[in-house]
Amino acid sequence: MNALVKEPTVTWTDVGAVTDVPRRGARRVPSPRGDIAVFRTGDGQVFALIDACPHKGGPLSQGIVHGSTVTCPLHGRVIDLATGEATGVDRGTGCAPVVPLEVRDGRLFLGLVGG
């Protein structure tokens, strides 16, 4: 017997202006899925990850952003902002889930799955 699988719906939620996130910094956004870290690189790219390092759950939003990575403030794991994957010698040891993010007219929209 085949069961019907309902596709999850994505709700795009405005969480502020791109300029609300400092260059080479982050902003923490609470959500039903848990805290989300929205990052902005030095060249203005933006990324969103669940705000928990895959190692011990450290708050990535409090880490140091360099290039397109963030260093966890607890134990120094370096996480790729585009993939959430640990880099360097820690590669393959877990990842922080990526959260869909769009920029529309200078505003940040997170794609939150619900229903």
Domains of the chain in start order, with CATH, are 21-98 (2.102.10.10)
Whole-model pTM above 0.75?
yes
Q: How does pLDDT run across 55-114, given as a tens digit for each residue?
A: 899 999 999 999 999 999 999 999 999 999 999 888 988 899 999 999 999 999 999 886
Give the model's confidence band at 3: pLDDT under 50 very low, under 70 low, under 90 confident, else very high. Answer: low
At 60 the three-state DSSP class reads helix
The pLDDT tens digits for 82-99 are: 999 999 888 988 899 999
> Residue range 30-50: average pLDDT?
95
* Tokens (6 digits) for 59: 């708050």
Phi then psi dihedrals of residue 112, to 5 deg: -100, 130
How far apart are alpha carbons 77 and 89 in whole angstroms?
Answer: 9
